[in-house]
């Protein structure tokens, strides 16, 4: 009898410290929550928001024109220059157009591919298709873009394929940039759409055909609205990644410059101006996300 009491007390005593801590935290929930969130919040505040804030503050400074040292005096000179020179408006518009085209072409290619993967392929083989779509992501970015450079160049692969039918490779330029960016970001568009289509219950399609709709009508009225949030999710990737891209423009763009190139050439010796230019894609993305959330697509993700 007494043996068990002593053992019980020892058990309780040895379990006291962790019990105490968990009891304390249970009573002070906010402490528990902040402890859990401290690491990610620190990352979000310092590494992410802090870095962005630092960049925007730099946009209000200037540089010494000869030594290129940053002068920490507040001024709106960089923004004035951005607005006054038409070239920056041109490059911003061009970048938005490229990003939109890439998103559109990605969506057009991804939808049939994802549909095939989600609804036509036998469930056994779906995994293999997903792996096939994901495999290019393992290859280095630079390797892929340089491979496209070789394909696009005069008398390259595209030329030899298209010459027999009277066309020729687009060469280096805007078309090349759109082609390469579409190729690079296609997996990011296919996967969300595939996930969305896979989630679509078969009963909806059956019900639609029961009600007399043909395939096209079913697709338009039942599938597309349900897969729209996935398309939007994919488009956020393709749009934002294309908006900031500069390496592809450098390698296959010929003499075309996108907003990322302007930032890159100025970040070397005129950091404040590069920071000012960088506010443009941020503003564009904020507007894009606002429009997207307005459509309600983000609520259904």
Partner 1 sequence: MRASRRATLATVAGALVLVAAGCGGDDSGGTTTATGGLRPPKLEALKTLGPGEGQVNLVAWAGYVEDGSNDPKVDWVTGFEKATGCQVNVKIGNSSDEMVQLIKSGQYDAVSASGDASLRLIAAGDVAPVNTALIPNYKDVFDGLKNQPWNTVNGVNYGVPHGRGANLLMWRTDKVSPDPDSWSVVFDPSSPYKGKITAYDSPIYIADAALYLMATRPDLGIKNPYALDDKQFQASIDLLKQQKGTIGEYWVDYLKEVQAFKSGDSVVGTTWQVIANVAQGEGTPVKATLPKEGATGWSDTWMVATKAKHPNCAYMWLNHIISPEANAAVAEYFGEAPSNKLACAKTVDPNHCAIFHADDEAYFSKVWYWNTPIQQCLDGRTDVRCKNYAEWTQAWTSLRNS
Q: Does 78 bind partner 1 (CB under 8 A)?
A: no
**What are the backbone angles phi and psi of residue 125, rounded to the nearest 5°?**
-95, -5
Residue 138 binds partner 1 (CB under 8 A) = no
Cα→Cα distances 287→41, 283, 290, 291, Å: 25, 6, 5, 6
Nearest to partner 1 of 56, 204 (CB atom): 56
Q: 231-290: which residues touch partner 1 (CB under 8 A)? A: 251, 254-255, 257, 261-262, 265-266, 268-270
Candidates 4, 17, 67, 203: give the one binding partner 1 (CB under 8 A): 67
Of positions 38, 81, 160, 293, contacts partner 1 by CB under 8 A: 81
One residue of 59, 61, 111, 275 binding partner 1 per CB under 8 A? 61
DSSP type of residue 62? E
Q: Minimum CB separation from partner 1 for residue 81, in Å?
A: 7
| Closest C-alpha to 136, from 126, 125, 147 | 147
Q: Exposed, middle or buried by CB within 10 Å (0-12, 13-18, 19+), for 121?
A: middle
State the Cα–Cα distance between residues 38 and 295, nearest whole angstrom: 33
- Of 109, 121, 128, the closest CA to residue 190 belongs to 109
User: What does the alpha-carbon distance between residue 14 and residue 32 come to, in Å, rounded to a whole number?
Assistant: 23
State how far Cα 188 lies from the chain centre. 8
Q: Which of 178, 271, 188 is nearest to 235 (CA)?
A: 188
Q: Which range, of 22-30, 61-69, 106-114, 132-140, touches partner 1 by CB under 8 A?
A: 61-69
Contacting residue, 83, 85, 160, 293, with partner 1 by CB under 8 A:
85
Q: Rounded CA gap, 78 and 63, in Å?
A: 10
Residue 57 touching partner 1 (CB under 8 A): yes
- Min CB(200)–partner 1 separation in Å: 28
Contact stretch for partner 1 (CB under 8 A) within 7-15, 22-30, 47-55, 288-296: 47-55
Q: How many residues would you count in the chain?
A: 301
List the one residue from 59, 91, 227, 284 that touches partner 1 (CB under 8 A). Answer: 91
* Residue with smaller CB distance to partner 1, 68 or 215: 68
The binding site for partner 1 (CB under 8 A) comprises 45, 49-50, 53-54, 56-57, 60-61, 63-74, 81, 85-88, 90-91, 150, 153-156, 171-172, 251, 254-255, 257, 261-262, 265-266, 268-270
């Amino acid at each position: 009898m007494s043996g068990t009491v002593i053992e019980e007390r020892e058990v309780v005593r040895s379990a006291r410290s962790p019990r105490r801590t968990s009891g304390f935290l249970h009573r002070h929930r906010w402490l528990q929550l902040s402890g859990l969130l401290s690491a990610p919040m620190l990352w979000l505040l310092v590494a992410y928001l802090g870095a962005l804030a630092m960049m925007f503050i730099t946009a209000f400074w200037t540089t010494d024109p000869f030594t290129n040292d940053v002068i920490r005096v507040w001024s709106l000179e960089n923004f004035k220059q951005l607005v006054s020179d038409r070239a920056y408006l041109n490059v911003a518009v061009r970048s938005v157009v490229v990003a939109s085209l890439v998103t559109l072409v990605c969506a057009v290619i991804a939808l049939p591919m994802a549909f095939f993967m989600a609804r036509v392929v036998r469930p056994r083989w779906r995994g293999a298709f997903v792996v096939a779509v994901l495999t290019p992501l393992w290859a280095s970015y630079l390797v892929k873009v340089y491979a496209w450079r070789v394909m696009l160049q005069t008398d390259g692969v595209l030329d030899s394929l298209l010459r027999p039918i009277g066309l020729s490779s687009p060469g280096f330029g805007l078309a090349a940039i759109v082609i390469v960016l579409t190729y690079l970001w296609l997996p990011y568009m296919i996967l969300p759409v595939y996930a969305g289509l896979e989630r679509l219950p078969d009963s909806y399609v059956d019900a639609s055909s029961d009600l007399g709709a043909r395939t096209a009508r079913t697709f338009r009225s039942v599938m597309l609205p349900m897969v729209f949030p996935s398309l939007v999710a994919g488009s956020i990737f393709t749009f934002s990644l294309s908006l900031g891209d500069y390496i592809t423009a450098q390698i296959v763009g010929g003499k075309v410059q996108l907003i990322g190139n302007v930032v890159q050439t100025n970040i070397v010796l005129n950091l404040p101006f590069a920071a000012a230019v960088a506010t443009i894609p941020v503003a564009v993305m904020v507007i894009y996300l606002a429009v997207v959330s307005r459509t309600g697509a983000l609520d259904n993700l």
